[in-house]
Amino acid sequence: MATDGSTRAVVTALGANLGIAVSKFVAAGITGSASMLAEGVHSVADSGNQLLLLIGGRQARQAPSALHPFGYARRRYIYAFIVAIVLFVLGGLYALYEGYHKIVDPHPLSSPLVAVAVLLVAAALEGFALRTAVREANRTRGARGWLAFVRRARAPELPVILLEDSGALLGLTFALLGVMLSELTGNGVFDGIASLCIGVLLAAIAVLLARETTSLLIGEAAVPEQVERINTALLAAPGVERVIHLRTVHLGPEELLVAAKIAVSAEADGEEIARTIDDAEARVRRTLPSARLIFLEPDIYRPEPTR
């Protein structure tokens, strides 16, 4: 299930992008600006992406079934991957296409002040949406830098919104520069160059998103500090002599599977081992509530003989 914070950021971005998209298309029709048209398509792509994230969050709440006993939490990763594809195809490639044609066949803009006004309003709305995403991300980001947060986050919604909104603000800057330079010089080529820059920017963001969500789909382990907390909790359980090996994997953003082989005393009987396992599981769940599934295998530790 998506957290309230990430859902709030997605809904805020969706509302902002729907309004921005309409204004950009109106301005593109009035001015004939390729970069403005590219930005309009960019906003449509972003709006569709936010709807996809909301749908993914809703479908991830389905109860486990016989066919999918671990549940459907990874649907959030699947929809985040689709977002990357949409952003690349609908946003990036279209902007590159428009920029190329505007450079090949440049023409001056009409009513450039309309474009400038719309771009400034859009920047204000995008800034508000980005501010909301930043505020929600700061609740869990800690001392990590923004790139590290995007790469290590196990919930896809906030990284997607942060990258989209940051890209949108930078894209608006490109479009504004393109419109102003085209008007000042009377050469529409600058508007086409701005559209090309927007296309390259969106394609780069899409590739980064695809790479990170692919890693999540394959299955990422808990972050190192969480693994250390699990290891400490296991060792604190009476009867656990050592952790022989420990494996973790995210079934979803807030659902962690923990599998470990723990060493117990060779003299322990079945009842003592069962108590040890139950206590160790309880300790792990207390220290890390996202550890929903825990599988512990007791064994007798036998160190390899030294040569």
- Alpha-carbon distance of 159 to 162, in angstroms, equals 5
Residues 38 and 170 in one domain: yes
Q: Number of folded domains in the chain?
A: 2
Residues in the chain: 307
Residues 74 and 146 in one domain: yes
Secondary structure class of 255 (helix, strand, coil): strand
Residues 162 and 42 in one domain: yes
Say if 307 falls within a structural domain.
no
Enumerate the H helices of 219-259 as residue ranges: 224-236
* pLDDT of the residue at 43: 81
* pLDDT of the residue at 2: 52
* pLDDT of the residue at 306: 55
Q: What is the DSSP letter of 42?
A: H
Here the CATH number for the domain that contains residue 209 is 1.20.1510.10
Q: What is the DSSP letter of 249?
A: E
* pLDDT of the residue at 164: 83
* pLDDT of the residue at 5: 59
Report the amino acid identity of residue 51.
L
Secondary structure class of 269 (helix, strand, coil): coil
Contacts of 271 (CB under 8 A, 6+ apart): none
Closest CA to 159 of 100, 218, 224, 205: 205
Give 3-state DSSP helix, strand, coil % of the chain, rounded to 5: 70, 10, 20
- Alpha-carbon distance of 76 to 6, in angstroms, equals 12
Q: What is the mean pLDDT of each successive set of 10 residues along the chain, which is 307 residues long?
A: 65 80 82 79 81 86 88 88 84 85 81 82 84 83 80 82 86 88 86 90 89 90 92 94 94 92 90 93 94 93 64
Range(s) of the domain holding residue 274: 224-299
Residues 89 and 203 in one domain: yes
Say if 306 falls within a structural domain.
no
Could you identify the residue written with the tokens 């459907």? Answer: 72
Closest CA to 43 of 94, 3, 102, 100: 94
- Alpha-carbon distance of 202 to 189, in angstroms, equals 20
* pLDDT of the residue at 291: 93
* pLDDT of the residue at 307: 55
Going by their DSSP bridges, the two strands 242-252 and 291-299 should be labelled as unpaired
Residues 209 and 104 in one domain: yes
Burial 14-34 (b: 16+ CB within 10 A, else e): bebbeebbebbbebbebbbbb
